Amino acid sequence: MTRGGEEVSQEEGLVPEESVVAQALRDAILERRLGPGSRLPEEQLADIFASSRGRIRRVLLALAQERIVVIQPSRGAFVASPDAVEAREVLAARRMIEVGVMERPCQPLTEEKKELLQQVIEEERSAHARHDVVGMIRWSGRFHLELARGLGNTVIADIISELILRTSLIIAIYEQQEATCCLKADHDLLLNAVCTRTWPEAARLMSRHLLEIEQNLDFSAPAPPTVSLGLILRR
């Protein structure tokens, strides 16, 4: 698919220039350089990225679909700011759904899906090794999504996909600095239980895993100090 002669990303619906801007904003938010509630003025962003307001608007709409930006009529775009109640509700929903998937899978994993999940774990491990917070969050979410897809319920996978997007921002905002978004061994243990079809153990591990994510959140953590958008995004 193209727009104005430029190839459009199927995943984001953005052309390459817009994808670069989206990634810069995504990284700034998930790395906690842009705090929750930060205003994202189209005109200022267009100036920072030497782009047009139309392109910036499309980027902000794409990020709103990911639940990390909210767009308020007559006010503009802001970094989303989920509170403690919303965070706990999102994680409770994930426990109900993802533990249920472990208890009643629609199908076992194919060999192809097992290989993909192992690759995702390796990418997550690499992100941990280089202290790449955004990478850790991204690959952790990818593991959970591909696991749900592999077990055969596409409707539930779609629901989990949205919850993962919301969890990514919650982790980025509230996770204790010394914590890691998913303990490195957790996904290995989960994958082993699923591959050996020991479903009660898989359900137990998933429940414990998601509870530990919630226990690693610190809702008293102060928001990052207000800093010029230009200083943050021109790094």
Contact (CB, 8 A) for 219 and 176: no
Residues carrying CATH 1.10.10.10, the chain:
2-81
Residue with tokens 């779609």: 158
Long-range CB pairs of 187-194 (<8 Å, 24+ gap) are 187/120, 187/121, 187/124, 187/140, 187/143, 188/121, 190/147, 191/114, 191/117, 191/118, 191/121, 191/147, 193/102, 194/102, 194/105, 194/109, 194/147, 194/151
Question: Which listed CATH number (1.20.1730.10, 2.60.40.10, 1.10.3720.10, 1.20.120.530) goes with 84-215?
Answer: 1.20.120.530
Q: Which residues contact 146 (CB under 8 A, 6 or more apart)?
A: 113, 116, 117, 120
Question: In 3D, which of 226, 221, 217 has the Cα closest to residue 170?
Answer: 217
pLDDT of residue 211: 93
Residues carrying CATH 1.20.120.530, the chain:
84-215
pLDDT of residue 195: 96
pLDDT of residue 185: 79
pLDDT of residue 223: 64
pLDDT of residue 172: 83
Euclidean distance between CA atoms 196 and 94, whole angstroms: 23
Residue with tokens 């100036």: 47
Between the alpha carbon of residue 217 and those of residues 35, 75, 110, 172, the distances in Å are 16, 30, 34, 10
Helix (H, G, I), strand (E, B) or coil at 6: strand
pLDDT of residue 80: 92
C-alpha dihedral sign at 184, 189, 194, 195: positive
pLDDT of residue 182: 62
Q: For residue 50, which phi and psi values (nearest 5 degrees)? A: 50, 50
Q: Which pairing describes strands 6-7 and 2-3: parallel, antiparallel, or unpaired?
A: antiparallel
**Both tokens assigned to 51:** 């782009």
Q: How many helices (H) and strands (E) does the chain have?
A: 10, 4
pLDDT of residue 5: 54
CATH architecture for the domain at 2-81: Orthogonal Bundle (1.10)
- The DSSP-derived string for 184-218 is HHHHHHHHHHHHTT-HHHHHHHHHHHHHHHHHTB-
Q: Which residues contact 23 (CB under 8 A, 6 or more apart)?
A: none
Between the alpha carbon of residue 233 and those of residues 34, 46, 89, 91, 166, the distances in Å are 9, 12, 32, 30, 23
pLDDT of residue 184: 62
Q: Which residues contact 87 (CB under 8 A, 6 or more apart)?
A: 170, 174, 214, 217, 219
Q: Consecutive 10-residue runs of the chain (235 residues): their mean pLDDT?
A: 53 82 89 86 94 95 92 93 93 96 95 97 93 86 95 91 89 73 79 96 96 89 66 66
